A = this chain, B = another copy of it.
């Protein structure tokens, strides 16, 4: 299994506050110049909708900080999250200017946006950028397939444990810490958003969180700050095999 972290380039992208592995990644100097001229930043508050499904999207973007989600909704209101965008993740796609899903900021979010037209020109002209995008899309696809296993076959408890381990890992790698032993982090999702991620109801999420707390797999300080006393213990609850590379 591929490991996303390995893909994060060491070279920072000009004035982006953190290094990120989106289009700017691995770019040659001249490409970077191109990018700088079409790049701008946008901020969103927690809960704000970035784009609605069906809306025109005149930009693509890279998540600089915060967490956003892609969500699908059925007419009767049933909702399923289908993408979770953490810092360094990419939003939008070339050759498609209509958003297929609602994009909602789960926390305050900063996006590094690229105007669509010049971005597409950039792709057309630079082979390594479309190769980079291909690589990232394949990682997304792997993540989606791991997610499908979770949705289709895991128990509620395993689902919660899996989600916590995914967030813990990504958070740790962002802070350059190992995800071993004691790990703690802030949950960027409400119970409802967790339920939408996991294909559960928020009551079940809450109950299973309480159960994991009761069994000392996790500790809660306030509603959102989580400490995992022993990461291996949490992993035992996910149903994944030990080495199995869970990708976000």
Contact string, A55-96, partner B, CB cutoff 8 A, digits 1/0? Answer: 000000000000000101011101110110000000001111
Contact string, A138-153, partner B, CB cutoff 8 A, digits 1/0? Answer: 1011101111110111
Q: Give A94 to B2 CA distance when docked, in angstroms.
A: 13
A153/B241 in contact, CB under 8 A? no
Contact string, A1-32, partner B, CB cutoff 8 A, digits 1/0? Answer: 11000000000000000000000000000000
| A179 interface residue (CB < 8 Å to B) | no
Closest CB of chain B to A144's CB: distance in Å?
A: 4
Name A79's closest neighbour in chain B (CB-CB). Answer: B153
Q: Which residues of B contact A2 (CB under 8 A)?
A: 96
Q: Which residues of B contact A151 (CB under 8 A)?
A: 148, 151-152, 199
A82/B145 in contact, CB under 8 A? yes
Q: Give A27 to B220 CA distance when docked, in angstroms.
A: 57
| A229 interface residue (CB < 8 Å to B) | no
CB-contacts of A135-187 with B (<8 A)? 135, 137-138, 140-142, 144-149, 151-153
State which of B72, B135, B146 has its C-beta within 8 Å of the C-beta of A95.
B135
Classify chain A's interface size. Answer: 35 or more
Q: Which residues of B contact A80 (CB under 8 A)?
A: 148-149, 152-153
Q: Give A144 to B80 CA distance when docked, in angstroms.
A: 13
| A46 interface residue (CB < 8 Å to B) | no
A199/B93 in contact, CB under 8 A? no
B199/A145 in contact, CB under 8 A? no
Query: Can you give 12 A-B contacts (C-beta < 8 A)?
Result: A1-B100, A70-B145, A72-B145, A72-B146, A72-B148, A74-B240, A75-B241, A80-B153, A127-B130, A130-B131, A134-B137, A141-B144
